[in-house]
Structure 1
Amino acid sequence: MTPVLETPFRGDESIDEPGFARVVDAMLSAAVRSAMFPGFASEYHKLTDDERARLTRIFLEHTRRQPGFSAVVSVPDHATRVAVRRVREAVDAGAAAINVLPPHYLGPSRASVVAHLVAVLEAAGRIPVVLQYAPAQTGTALDAQVIARLAADHANLAYVKVESTPPGRLVEALAAGQPPVRSMVGYAGVQLPDALARGVAGVQPGCSFVEIYQRIWSLWQQGDHRSAATLHARLLPYIAYWMLDVELIIAAEKEISVRRGWFESAVCRGPGWQLDAQEHARIDAFIDEFGTELGIPA
């Protein structure tokens, strides 16, 4: 379970650093074993370099002494030279793992994408690397054979975060490769039961209701697949709608986090999704259904 941390903004769109620290602490209180920053859910593309560096530092400082916790620092930078520098900085600062989003602006060739990934894997040294495969968001086209070759040459390629839709076939293809490569699923876990049935090794959702994902995972691992699927079926109408647009689920999750008292403003930096009355009503329904499980007062 590796939730992606969100970035709280105040009403004037400035960074709410104490709010971000509370998000990190909330993940530790939820007993997750790892978390990631920055990702799409963090609005990384709306942060200045300085803001991203400061928030990464807060993340690492708050988790450094937590036994058994792995801080995953994401490197979504497009330029290979910049990405390599970011990886080295993150490793030096104490990151336990690196998440790499392949370059995708202006449609780079597959050869240049692979070269970028090789450079990142080499810069990380012995630090585990997660390859984020999100074709719907990036248009990047890789396949199991290409990834297997990367894993054969670079033992630190530890996981692939599969966000193709549906993810299951790629999960199985990666596991059947030589060497086998483990997978996590993202995309809010919309296809989580199918991915679990195909042997996925983890899930990487947003952070505002991580306890629900933990419960689904725990039930499945205990062998109670029916209860896991039933709980997921309760969650599915919400996440399936919210995942129609990445900015939509970011906005919805921030509203939920505000209800949980983690920070005061659900503001997203523009351009973003403006929730309408029906979407606010859907969040109200979500709170009615899951608020007790999340500790949200009625």
Structure 2
Amino acid sequence: MTIAEVRAEEEDVRRPPVRGVSPVLEVPFADNGDLDVPGFRRVVRYVLGTGVSSVMFPGFASEFHKLGEWERQLLTGILLEETATRPEVSAIIAVQDHATRLAVQRAVDAVGAGADLINLLPPHFLAPSRRSIVAHVRAVLTAVAPTPVVLQYAPTETGTSLDSATLTEIAREHSNLALVKVESSPPGALIEELAAADPPLPAVEGYAGVQLPDAIRRGAVGTQPGCSFTEVYVELWRRFAQDDEAGGMELYRRLLPYISYWMLDTELIVAAEKLISVRRGLFASAHCREPGHLLDREEIRMVDRFLGEFDDLLPRLA
């Protein structure tokens, strides 16, 4: 292989494999807390049909920390079975294991099962050192290369602190570090720093899109919200992508009062999104496994106001 071919191959790996809207899939449970497997398959099929570029599972919105290992494997298999026939939508499989050995094995297994990308949440229990965090990230990147990896930076949820210099240094040595999911608050400054780095490191914005317009202006290539009202995010992204700034801001202003409240707590937005899905007919129960957030009467009214506000974009799915 010539030097030019090597460089072209490296640039292809760095090309953002995720653009636009990339929802995190939720996991429905029955009222008694049992896994609702048919409901999850409906979630997958619904999201794949909304015009998204990719989907991610399992994340905080999936209540990954409340899933048993067999449940996680079962649901991952269902997702990969569905995306195998949808080449236009990439499957991002998340790895959150604290132990580097386990994270490497899970990532390798996911790639072997058909994952298009790996989403890596760095270790955070018991405040690991930056050296050990970087070593963990490098180990997973090495193990799955050349499969692209999305590095999830969620300091509020994890307490982990990384900066653009550290991320850029990793990217220089691992060309399959393809993206950073930036969930700092606000995310814009880090997104802009990463885009201006050498090599440039693309970023997607999370946190339900609370800072989405600023993130787009600073170079974000995508957004990764929850999945119960994916159509709203698809339309919002479409407007900004087509330089309809006024239309994008109009829709964003309508959405912001809801997502800014729900994102005050991760368990709150999980509960709200599940009720939205139930109201839309996607599955039967809004149950969240304990410990979780129990919506009060006003929060339930807020969900119903939201569905009324966006009824033009959110048809019932039953």
Counterpart in the other structure of 1:212: 232
Distance between the aligned counterparts of 1:291 and 1:267, measured in 2? 24
Counterpart in the other structure of 1:256: 276
Deviation at 1:106, TM superposition (A): 0.6
Distance between the aligned counterparts of 2:116 and 2:124, measured in 1? 25
Match of residue 83, structure 1, among 83, 87, 103: 103
Counterpart in the other structure of 2:72: 52
1:37 partner amino acid: F
TM-score w.r.t. the length of structure 1 is 0.98
Counterpart in the other structure of 2:262: 242
Counterpart in the other structure of 1:70: 90
Distance between the aligned counterparts of 2:312 and 2:30, measured in 1? 27
Distance between the aligned counterparts of 2:240 and 2:279, measured in 1? 28
Aligned-residue CA RMSD (Å): 0.8
Q: Secondary structure at the match of 2:160?
A: coil
Counterpart in the other structure of 1:41: 61
Counterpart in the other structure of 2:212: 192
2:41 partner amino acid: A
Deviation at 1:69, TM superposition (A): 1.3
Distance between the aligned counterparts of 1:95 and 1:279, measured in 2? 36
Match of residue 160, structure 2, among 140, 143, 146: 140
Distance between the aligned counterparts of 1:284 and 1:61, measured in 2? 34
Q: Which runs of 5+ in 2 are unaligned?
A: 1-20
**Paired residues, number:** 297
Moved more, 25-34 or 132-141: 25-34
Distance between the aligned counterparts of 2:215 and 2:54, measured in 1? 20
Give yes or no for contact 2:153–2:183 (8 Å, CA) kept in 1: yes
Match of residue 28, structure 1, among 22, 26, 48: 48
Counterpart in the other structure of 1:97: 117
For each residue in 1:262-286, what CA deviation from the matched residue of structure 2 results, as whole angstroms up to 9, or x when unmatched? 1100000000000000100110110
Counterpart in the other structure of 1:282: 302
Counterpart in the other structure of 1:6: 26
**Equivalent residues in 2 for 1:164-203, closer than 5 Å:** 164-203=184-223
1:56 partner amino acid: T
Distance between the aligned counterparts of 1:20 and 1:126, measured in 2? 30
Identical aligned pairs, as a percentage? 56
Q: Secondary structure at the match of 1:293?
A: coil
Q: Secondary structure at the match of 2:127?
A: coil
2:24 partner amino acid: V
Answering whether residue 248 of structure 2 is matched by residue 232 of structure 1, we say no
* Dislocated runs of 4+, deviation >6 Å: none
Q: Secondary structure at the match of 1:294?
A: coil
Counterpart in the other structure of 2:8: none
Q: Secondary structure at the match of 2:22?
A: coil
Q: Which runs of 5+ in 1 are unaligned?
A: none
Deviation at 1:31, TM superposition (A): 2.0
Q: Secondary structure at the match of 1:165?
A: coil
Give yes or no for contact 2:24–2:57 (8 Å, CA) kept in 1: yes
For each residue in 1:61-102, what CA deviation from the matched residue of structure 2 results, as whole angstroms up to 9, or x when unmatched? 011111211000000111111000000100000000000001
Give yes or no for contact 2:51–2:234 (8 Å, CA) kept in 1: no
